[in-house]
Structure 1
Amino acid sequence: MAAKQSVIVVGSGIIGASIAWHLTRGGAAVTVVAEDEGGVATPCSFAWINASWGNPEFYFRFRLRAMAEWRRLATELPGLPLAWCGGLCWDLPPHDLEAFATEHIGWGYGIDRIDGNAVRAREPYLANLPDLALSVTEEGAVEPVAAALAMLSDAKARGATFVNAAVHSLIRTGERISGVVTSAGLLEADHIVLATGAGTTPLTAAIDLHIPIDTPPGLIVHSRPHARRLNGLVMAPELHMRQTGDGRIIAGSDFGGADPGQDQQATAEALFDKLRGSLLDSPSLAMDFFTVGYRPTPKDGFPIIDAACKGLYIAVMHSGVTLAPLAGLLASNEILTGEKDAALAPFALSRFS
């Protein structure tokens, strides 16, 4: 019997957890290395699962496929904190909102135009109603850290190992990356996967591999648990919000989060005041905490999901929550079989050469 392929996955956020879980299911001997289970960017995510506006058709199709993979993942890993709650959107100027609706309806996205009365029926606690909104019933949200931990837990139950350590550098053997230098010692494997978000650049720069990534910050506020005030995702002008399964309302000036500014506390308080003012009958709504996440965004806005060189695979992207199950599936298949899914062609690192 052939020996299992050994893979080290560096990073334990939603992308690293998905890759590790899929690799383990595919028969690999997996070691996950990270300082904290659940990642760094993942806890700061708004966690909207969508194929919404602002993307060319090829990327829309990829995101739509990722949404379907979330449904597949939920059947294979029961209990994922995933809700297909639907979204309401009116955060674009009227002309742009109509252009988005027309384009995406033509692409097969399930969008309905609804008036203020229909918005009120869906979201009775909204204080400010639009004349027109777009309803997308197939969109959803996931509690991202809980989902990452569920995948890591199941991977460990199937034999994966978790090493609580910082990764300092990559080990090069000839033309191949063969391992990592960690605070717990040297680890070697057949394949190394970097799912390290903003931490990717310093690791690859040391082997003269440039990964062009921006890391814009985004501030998101989190309320204390509260009685139900939102039934689904709400994308209003300058305020995107949703309510989690445990009753927390989370919000940003958009889904990526607000610019935290010089005084993060003041920015958070102002944003939470706007949130409180947008909801009726919520005098007891109180902020619990805020997060500032640094969104790992390749320079052209699209993911990097690719073998960077022999033994080294890179998976870095914003919209990591939407893309996680598909990125995990396709990356693990390529690592274990050497066969690249055609859908990954636009996301090769070579496009930056």
Structure 2
Amino acid sequence: MRAAGARLSVVGARLCVVGGGVLGLAVAADAVKAGWRVTLLEREPALCRVASGASFAWANAHAKRPASYAALSRAGLRRHAEASATGSEPWFTAMAADAWGTRVVEGGAVDVAAFARAHARAIRDHGGVVRTGASVVRVDTDADGARVVLDSGEPVVADTVVLAAGVATPALLDGLGTAQRLAVLGPIGALARVRWPSGWAGGLVLGDELSVRPDGDDRLLLQSLSLERALVDEALPLDERAAWRRLRELAQRHGLPLGDDDLLELRFAHRPLPPDGLPIAGWAAERVYAVVAHSGVTLAPALGRLVVAELGGEPQPELQRCRPPGSVPNHSQKEHTHGKEHTHGH
């Protein structure tokens, strides 16, 4: 077994990433650049359609605790800014915010669709594979490798698997006989895309009843945390007309004169939310690494880099507080082992 901290050669090793949200895309893009043979699988017909697509996508480190979580969030912001500015398509716009009456300068808006396009392009440009409409039903592992089985029965063979499937991650881990189930099912998130109404001066404003931010030159994104709390006992799919009527009333109360036909899109999704709010990142089973985060849009660029380093045999101190319950070293393949067991629970 190699010593902890030793960088391992991963060139040519097969990595299957399950989940085409912001976290899965960030991990896959960094991995393919590091030399992995990457296949990314997304069950939806398009990338970033579920939790990532229903995110307000304000990347920030505002009021985040503990300090290690705030530092990880700031690392995500820095990498968003750097990679967006130099990538094939910009996706990050630095933007000050009025957050619950406090001016927050550090942060900005992420165009999730542009993020998805840029990362999918990077994966493919480096020889990786991105498959949508590929629903995974189980993951099998043994001494020889791993198999990710699709609902069609097709197996995708890999040396290592990363589960970045949000709230679907625990069910996939259950089939591997992990000792403790991940608890990551969060509240229903609702995001509305609307036409920019006359009289709205612009800017990014966040509050409990209503959060508003620009989405291009002629559209706004709306989110209401109070409305989401009211939806907690309801099941998906929700009544879109009723939800829009309630959101429109809140918007009008805050000076947004929206007409009934100003709604362009309304998305709902369960948000991943670990019990302590911190991201989960670590070896959850032999050959299987899990990564789940509530602030996935903010953290994705930083987590992508850190997770790929760990896949290559370098435990990252920034992730020591983020281990899944029953976290294990990856003993099954010496060239991909951590070297010692991590005992930090999540």
Q: Does TM, normalized by the shorter one, top 0.5? A: yes
Please give the secondary structure, in 2, of the residue aligned with 1:275: helix
Q: CA deviation at 1:227?
A: 6.4
1:220 aligns with 2:213: no
Aligned residue among 10, 33, 57 for 1:47: 57
Q: CA deviation at 1:195?
A: 0.6
State the partner residue of 2:140. 171
Aligned residue among 211, 216, 233 for 1:245: 216
State the partner residue of 1:35. 43
Structure with the largest fraction of helix: 1
Amino acid at match of 1:250: L
Rate the CA distance shift 1:58–1:2 in 2: closer, same or farther, 3 A: closer
Distance 1:333 1:257 in 2: 36
Rate the CA distance shift 1:223–1:5 in 2: closer, same or farther, 3 A: same
Amino acid at match of 2:36: A
1:313 aligns with 2:289: yes
Q: Greater shift after overlay, 338-347 or 266-275?
A: 266-275
Per-residue CA deviations over 1:279-337 (Å, capped at 9, x if unaligned) read 367679822231111101112211101122221110111111000100111111211x2
Aligned residue among 332, 338, 345 for 2:313: 338
**What does 1:36-75 align with in structure 2 at a 5 Å threshold?**
36=44, 37-39=46-48, 40-75=50-85
Structure 2 unaligned regions, length at least 5: 1-8, 326-343
State the partner residue of 2:330. none
> How many pairs does the alignment contain?
309
* TM-score for the superposition, normalised by structure 1: 0.80
Rate the CA distance shift 1:26–1:54 in 2: closer, same or farther, 3 A: closer
Amino acid at match of 2:271: R
Distance 2:81 2:106 in 1: 11
Is the 1:86–1:136 contact (alpha carbons within 8 Å) kept by the matching residues of 2? yes
Structure 1 unaligned regions, length at least 5: 91-132
State the partner residue of 1:5. 13
Q: CA-atom RMSD, angstroms?
A: 2.5
1:232 aligns with 2:203: yes
Distance 1:290 1:341 in 2: 38
Rate the CA distance shift 1:84–1:255 in 2: closer, same or farther, 3 A: farther
Distance 2:273 2:291 in 1: 11
Aligned residue among 114, 121, 127 for 1:146: 114
State the partner residue of 1:122. none
Rate the CA distance shift 1:283–1:72 in 2: closer, same or farther, 3 A: same
Is the 2:140–2:147 contact (alpha carbons within 8 Å) kept by the matching residues of 1? yes
Distance 1:55 1:255 in 2: 22
* TM-score for the superposition, normalised by structure 2: 0.81
Q: Greater shift after overlay, 31-40 or 46-55?
A: 31-40
